[in-house]
Structures are given as structure tokens and as C-alpha cells.
Chains A and B, each alone.
Chain A
């Protein structure tokens, strides 16, 4: 009791001095983070107000100031508003935005749902559990570019692994076209879920393992069946972890998919077709290939804003379970 108030009297500076060695250690990281994060963010924000195009690129931050012009253009393109409907310089953004939404929802359902099932299976006692746990981690060590390349081969209509399995098991009669047409978005979702599964599985497994077993024993004594135990013990107790996973899922869904899409479709062209074009690939392509750098910055800032709205909704939804932790 006597010590606590004394400690509080130390000023911030004194506390820093007291832990000076620790601060010395993290100083390079802080400087590096400022250089690689903060400065580019500020530059990007400023760039979105400038008319940076092919002809003005060498001027960079000295390019003509155009204010919110690109923001209005992107808003028009996404929401189809404005005097002449959409600006045709910025094409396909509405389509990419809706694809991204579907992609985010499905990848989240996939990684969270399958991840939870896998975690519960891996939590059971069985003979090869150690090996199974290691194998589940395998997709995680595969770089996303490689994942895209591998799935390009898996989805091939002729001779691809997916169609071989489906035909072999007589699930389908004719090979499915995965890489072109409406199936391409699901081809992308499945590849992303495959790559994302290990992370969610491990997180859920860790969460399940810390649940005290006597809770389950008590519930069993009270006559609760397996589903009831899952519904009333496991689910509520892993909710904080699930909430964090949803946040990661949202961010990955909005910003992710680029590496896999670029390699799986297009061999580098970055265009997955109208059915599977996501926002980040679309913005990247239009920024770099069409040399609309100011527009690209504005579109990225808007994407960040959209994501913040979703993160806000997320926070409101899961606020209580996060506090409970």
C-alpha cells in the first residue's frame, strides 16, 4: 500500500530514465517505424490531393494541387453518383467493391468456421495428434505468391487437381471451369481460406485449451449434451479470440487477395476478370498501369475509411466480449 502511491509520483521522464535500457533497445524500431510508416502515410494523404500523373510524376510532391477532385471521382465511381454518372477513367470500382465484400464474407466464414472445427478436432486426444497439428500449419509457411501459383495449377480445367478429384469421385460429369467466369471468385476464396486456416486454427486451439475442464465435467454431470457444452461453454469463452479473428479477417479481406489473385489469374497482369477483381488489385492496376497516382492515393484513403467504418461496427458488436477478457 505504501509503495504504490510512491511509484505513481514518478514523472513520465523519470520512468523512461528508470527503464532507459529498454527504451534504448526499442529506439531503432521506433525510428524505423516512423520512417517506413508515418512518413509514407502523410505523403500518401498529401499525394491524394495532387494531380500526379505520368507527365507530372517527376514533380512528385510539387505537382499541381487539385484538392478533393480525385475523392469526388472515386466516390462517383463507387456509388454511381455525380453529374454524368461515373467517370470512365476509373472503371470497375463498384464491381470490385462488391466482389471484395463477398470475398471478405466468404473468406471469414471459411477461415473461422473451418478453423474452429479443426481446432476442436485437434484438441481431442488421438494417436497422431502431434503430426496432425504440424500438418495443419503447413499452408502458413507457403508464401502467398506461391499459393497463387499452386492454385493456378490446381484449378486448371484440363488436368487440374480439383477437377481430377471431382471427376474421379463422380461428383461432377464435366470439368468445372474455375479460372474464368463466375467460379473464379470462389476459386480465389478457397485459395485464401486454405492459406488463412492455420492461423485461425492455432488461435482457436490456444483459446480452447485454456478453458478449464471442470466446467465441462460439471456440465456433463448436469446432463448437458455435446452441443449444449459447445454452445454454452466453448463458444462464450472463445468469443474474445473469435472477435480478434474477425478483425484480422476484415482487414485481410479488404486489403488481401492481391498476391494470390495476381499469380492465380493473369500470371502477373493483375486482372482476375470482372467476377474476381478485388479492390486492392483494381486500385493498384489503375494507379500504376494508367499512371493515375493522385487518384490511386485518394482511392486508397477511401478504402482505408471504408475499412475503418467496418472496424467501428466490429468494435460496437464485440465491445462487451472484449472487455470481459
Chain B
């Protein structure tokens, strides 16, 4: 009796499992067609997102041949990060334009979170499998180039994009690797820092921007004056310890003070030099001089932007993305109904005793070594580095284009807000093109982050010794990591 029942139970189990698998597969297959078919009448429904349904429809009607993957067709995988407020729409617009101009090449985008992207790319470089193309944070280029994971661009390919001179110098520097010939990625867009401020409050104080933000001394006087006149408004807000930008914002004070992050041969830390210590102390003591938003040290970039948008602060260290906030309607999440929208202005970073420099970051495009469709990938990079795409994409995501031609375009150059970033970018400085940069950055973020703890708990100005101790510790670690 028992023996005869066992096979039955076995069969029943197997049958249940198979039916479950079938149901699961069936569900996955039928669901998308049911939802997307009415929107996109074409057979491309499978790869169409609801937001781009309209574009796909027109593409399908004009080019019915491309609707089904035909022989000789190439599919490029692209990894990108959430750039701008509507990242998927922004990249899809570029892909649509490219695919229209290049029938036979399909681009499949995949969005990676910034926090996970580095490890994903690293894993794919290590395992030899991954997308053809990827976006890289500018500081990541040397790391992956040193790992041998990136396919260098040839001289002809670069010439076809207008040559290295057609890119902003600071951005182009991020495509190189010290000690190795070659260009491992192409600058895509630039993230340039500047000082956003409220021009109505500045006018009320009877100050002119060229005087108010001329140097550190005049800058501090300006902040104090504004605070005095407007008790509810703080002088400045900047992201404190809880943000990725800790080293980037501090570096501008180091550069402007006459210091530098690394020695000229990039082999040794110099961010603990006297000039650098003076610069960082100046920055740190904005807080103890009570010229900042009281909680600025615990804020991240988004929270700083929000406090500027709410009118709680007169100025903020930030980037060009606030322009799109100011110009976006309130019901779409913008600021058009706020005081700040009409009164947003930008100034270059105040000059210090060592000059006036601005941090330039952003992102590059790289082709991974494992890419099998290099020719198509190069075409897509060239398209994205082209004038039309540079202008459209950078404005869609609120960044600056990486090419000089696009920056010189009337829509940017004659825009009173964007133009500040163009002249700031010309004085741009950035991370060093060494494989160990990620490590330098990590150490700096740790010690500068701890310095913000010191500042918050000091109850008064922090001495240069405290700053020096932190930077000395960081320098010792960095030097050891650099092999000294």
C-alpha cells in the first residue's frame, strides 16, 4: 500500500512544481504585453517603457524594419547612473535620437545607483563580463584603467570627436592615467561648483557681486552683513560630514589658499602643508564664526539645496542643477512659486591668497575591454560627445557640457546663470589621475569628516593645530597607500 502511494506523491510534487513554474513564466510573458500593447502599436512593445511610448510609436511607423531584431543588428548595453531629476527620460531621449540616426544599433540602458555602481563595474571588469559602455565618475577612470578594464580610445576616434582640445581641460585630465599612455574614457558632462546666492538680499545690502565675493575677507563681511540685516537668514550652507562631497568642498579652500592635494609628481600627499591647513581652517571656522546655517555640518547636498530653496540661507556651495529647480514649475517639484526662483544668482568661489580655483567633477563614458561591438560603442560615444547631444543632455540633467563648443553655444554662454560656471570651469581643478585616487579620497573623507566632528564639538574656533593633526594623519595614511 505504502509503496504504491509513494510514486504517486512524487508525481504529484513534480506536477505541482512544473505547474508553478509554468504559471510564473506565463505571468511574466503576458503581463507586459497587456499593459504596453495599447500604447505602442509596434512590435517593439517589449523594450518600451510607458514614458517613451510615444517616441517608440513614431519610430516604429517610420522604420518598420527595425522593429524586430534582424541579422546584423547590434545591441549595446549601457550602464548609467541617475543623472538629473528624470534620469531615465533624459538618457532615453539620447538613445532614441542615436538609434534613429544609426539603424541597426540598439542601445539598452540600465540605471545603477551611485552607491552600488563602483562595485558593479569593478565586478564586471574583474569577471570580464558586463556592458559595452558605462558611465564613470571622473575619479573612477584611473582606477579601472589601471585594472586593465577599459578599452582606450584611438587617436583617430578622438580626432573624430574634435580632438582633446575640444574638451574642457580639467575634464579631459580625468580621462588619463598617470604613467600610462592613452585616453581611457571620454568626458560626458562636467559638474562644476560655485556659490549660489540670493541677489535680492545682496541688493538690499547695497553690495555688488564683484565686491561681495571677491576674496575671503570680503566674503565673510558679506555674510555677516546679510545675517545682520536678515535675522532669519543664515549666511551660507554647505554639506558637512554626512555627504560624498566632503573632500571636494574642502579642496577648493586648499587650492585657493595656495596648497594642493598631492605633490606635482603625484607621489606624495601635500594637503597637510601650511597653506592647506590655513585654507581648511578658514573653511572650518565659517561655522564657529556663526556664519553658516546652524546645522550645516550634519546636512548632505540635497538638504543644503533644500535649505537654500526654502530661503533659510543666503548662499550655498552647490552646482548648476539649481538652475533647473528655479525654472521648473512648482507643481512639478520646482521652485517657481518661491522667492528664490527669481533671485537665484551664482558667483565664482571667492579667491584666496593662492588664487581662485573651482572643483570640476562630472562623468565620463568608457568602453569596457570585454565589449564585443566596439565599433558601435565608439559611434554612440561620439554621438554623445557631439554638440547636439551635449547641449540637450547636459541641460536635461542640470550639468555643464564637457565640450568647449557646447559651452560656447548661445543657450549656455549667454545665460546669466550658466555663464558663471563656464568661466569657473576654465579655472577648474580636479582629482589626480592616479590609480590610487579612490583610496586618497576615502582617507581624506574620513579625516575631514572627523574634523567636522571636532568643529561641531569645539564650541568656538578650531585651532590650526587641530586641523593640522587631522590632515597629518590623513597624509601619513595616504603616503603609505601611495607606497612611500
Question: Would A158 and B115 be within 8 Å (CB), given that A89-B481, A289-B439, A290-B443 are in contact?
Answer: no
CB proximity of A29 to chain B, nearest CB, Å: 14
Residues of B with C-beta under 8 A to A58: 125-126, 147-148
* C-alpha spacing A290/B443, complex, angstroms: 8
State whether A180 touches B297 (Cβ < 8 A). yes
* C-alpha spacing A265/B473, complex, angstroms: 22
State whether B476 touches A88 (Cβ < 8 A). yes
CB proximity of A53 to chain B, nearest CB, Å: 10
CB proximity of B241 to chain A, nearest CB, Å: 6
Of all chain B residues, which has the CB nearest A25?
B13
Q: What's the count of A-B pairs with C-beta under 8 Å?
A: 114
State whether B126 touches A60 (Cβ < 8 A). yes
Residues of A with C-beta under 8 A to B435: 54-55
Question: Would A92 and B243 be within 8 Å (CB), given that A58-B148, A158-B295 are in contact?
Answer: no
State whether A177 touches B242 (Cβ < 8 A). no
A179, A266, A273: most-surrounded residue (chain B CB, <10 A):
A273
State whether B126 touches A267 (Cβ < 8 A). no
Interface string of B242-256 (1 = CB under 8 A from A): 111010000000000
Interface string of A276-303 (1 = CB under 8 A from B): 0000000001101111000000000000
Give the A interface residue count (CB, 8 A): 37
Residues of A with C-beta under 8 A to B119: 288
Among the listed A60, A91, A267, A271, which residue makes an inter-chain contact with B445, where contact means beta carbons less than 8 Å apart?
A271
Residues of A with C-beta under 8 A to B246: 269
State whether B441 touches A179 (Cβ < 8 A). no
* C-alpha spacing A273/B297, complex, angstroms: 12
* C-alpha spacing A139/B297, complex, angstroms: 29
Among the listed B143, B146, B298, B449, which residue makes an inter-chain contact with A177, where contact means beta carbons less than 8 Å apart?
B298
Among the listed A91, A182, A271, which residue makes an inter-chain contact with B449, where contact means beta carbons less than 8 Å apart?
A271
* C-alpha spacing A269/B436, complex, angstroms: 18
Interface string of B7-48 (1 = CB under 8 A from A): 001100100000000000000000000000000000000000
* C-alpha spacing A203/B6, complex, angstroms: 39
Interface string of B94-129 (1 = CB under 8 A from A): 000000000000000000001100110010011000
Interface residues of B in 183-228 (CB under 8 A from A): none
CB proximity of B245 to chain A, nearest CB, Å: 9
- For the complex, is B457 an interface residue (Cβ under 8 Å from A)? yes
State whether A92 touches B446 (Cβ < 8 A). yes
Among the listed B244, B452, B480, B481, which residue makes an inter-chain contact with A180, where contact means beta carbons less than 8 Å apart?
B452
- For the complex, is B438 an interface residue (Cβ under 8 Å from A)? yes
16 A–B contacts, CB within 8 A, in A order: A21-B9, A54-B436, A55-B146, A58-B126, A58-B148, A156-B295, A156-B298, A157-B295, A175-B295, A180-B453, A181-B453, A265-B241, A265-B242, A266-B243, A271-B449, A290-B442
Please name the 7 residue pairs, one residue from A and one from B, whose CB atoms are nearest each other, closest first. Answer: A289-B442, A157-B295, A179-B298, A268-B115, A267-B300, A290-B439, A180-B456
- B-side residues, CB < 8 A to A, are 6, 9-10, 13, 114-115, 118-119, 122, 125-126, 143, 146-148, 240-244, 246, 293-295, 297-298, 300, 302-303, 435-436, 438-439, 441-443, 445-446, 449-450, 452-453, 456-457, 473, 476-477, 480-481
- A-side residues, CB < 8 A to B, are 21, 54-55, 57-58, 60, 87-89, 91-92, 152, 156-158, 175, 177-182, 265-269, 271, 273-275, 285-286, 288-291
